[in-house]
Amino acid sequence: MLIRTTPGRTSATWLATLGVCAGVLVFASASPAQSAGTRQWTSRPPVNHARAGLSVEQAGNAIVAVGGFDNNDLNGFTEARHADGPGVWHDLATMPTARANFASAIVGGFLYAAGGYDAVDLTNVVERYNSRLNQWTTSRPLPQPRGGDAGASLDGVFYVAGGYITPSMGDDQLSASVLAYEPQRDIWRYVAPMHTARERHRLVAAGGFLYENISEARDRRFNPMEGQLVSVGGRKMHIDCTGTGSPTVILDSGLGDSYLSWSKVQPEIAKFTRVCSYDRAGVGYSDSINKANGSQDQTSIRTVGTGALPHAARE
C-alpha cells in the first residue's frame, strides 16, 4: 500500500517523504499513520510491482516509480499515476538496465536514471526516459561506476551525489563526491563534495540549494569519529592512524572523498606498518577553509608529509 502525506506549503518535504515511503512500505499493507499537526497520512493505490530500492519522481502532475528489486531479482519496471486523486498506476516502457538504489531526477522534462546496483555490481550506465514517446534511451555514462547515489535537478542540471564508487584499482569506496551533468553540453563535471561520505540517502533541490536528508550531525552520531583532531595552520584537521612500524604510510583521498574511502585498505596496510588516513580541509571532520580546493589540498598534503602532524602520524 502506498501512502502519502498532505504537504501543506512544503512540496519538497512531501516529495522526499514520498520517495522514502514508496521504497519502504510498498511490500505490505500498512495502516495510515496518525496525523501530526495539520499533516495526515491517507491511503493511495499500491504500485503494480511490489519492490524496494526503487526511485520515485514527480513529473508534472504524475508520480513515476522506476527500478528496484523484489524477492526474486532486480527490475526496470516503470509505472506512473496522477499525483492527485485515487487513480491507479499504469505500466510504462521498462527501463533497459534493471537496477536498484540509483540516482534519478527530472531534468528538462526527461527522467534520468544514473548508476546504482545492477545484476553484477555498481554501474555507470545513465538512461533517459521520454514520456511523450514512452521510450528509454542511453545517455552519457557516469565517469565511473557508482551505486547507492542520490540525484536531484537544479537549474537544468542533474546532480548525482555520494554512494559507493569503483576506482580504477582496488575495492569499492564510499564517496562524498558530487557530479553535475549539463544536458545541453552533454558533459559530467565534479563540483564541491559533501562534507560526509554516504550512500542510500536523498538529495532534494529547494530554494536554489541542494539538501541532503541525513544531517551531518546525525551521520556523525551513528558513525563516531575514529582518530583525532589536530591543529594544522590554525585549523583542525582530522587524522586516523593505525598499526605500528616504519615508514608511516599516508593515504590521500581523491575526488572530494573523506578518510572513509580507505576503510577497507587501511586495515590491511596496518598489519605490517603504521598507516594514516585523513580528511582534507572542508571534508568530513576537518575544518573548512576559504581558499580554492586545489592549491589548499596540495598544501595539506605537503604539511602532512613534512611532519606538521608529528604526534598524530608517529607512534
Q: Which is nearest to 219 in space by CA: 195, 189, 235? A: 195
Quickly state the pLDDT bin for 115 (edges 50, 70, 90). Answer: very high
**DSSP for 100-125, written as a single string:** BS-EEEEETTEEEEE--B-SSSB---
15-19, 48-52, 98-102, 285-289: range with lowest mean pLDDT: 15-19
* pTM listed for this prediction: 0.61
Q: Is the peptide bond before 145 cis (omega within 30 degrees of 0)?
A: no
Residue 250 cell numbers, joined = 599516508
Tens digits of per-residue pLDDT, 31-47?
333 334 557 888 888 99
Question: CA 188, CA 160: separation in Å to the nearest integer?
Answer: 10
**Amino acid code (one letter) for 16:** A
Question: CA 243, CA 268: separation in Å to the nearest integer?
Answer: 9
Q: What is the pLDDT of residue 191?
A: 87
Percent of the chain with pLDDT over 70: 71
Is the model's pLDDT at 21 over the cut of 50?
A: no
Domains of the chain plus CATH, in order, are 2-221 (2.120.10.80), 225-313 (3.40.50.1820)
Tens digits of per-residue pLDDT, 184-226?
999 999 988 888 888 889 898 888 888 765 444 444 444 567 8
Q: What is the pLDDT of residue 260?
A: 76
**Cβ-proximal residues to 204 (8 Å cutoff; 6+ apart), any chain:** 12, 15, 16, 152, 210, 211, 213
Is the model's pLDDT at 56 over the cut of 90?
A: yes
**Amino acid code (one letter) for 126:** V
Per-residue DSSP letter, 254: -
**Amino acid code (one letter) for 6:** T
Q: What is the pLDDT of residue 39?
A: 72
Q: What is the pLDDT of residue 90?
A: 95
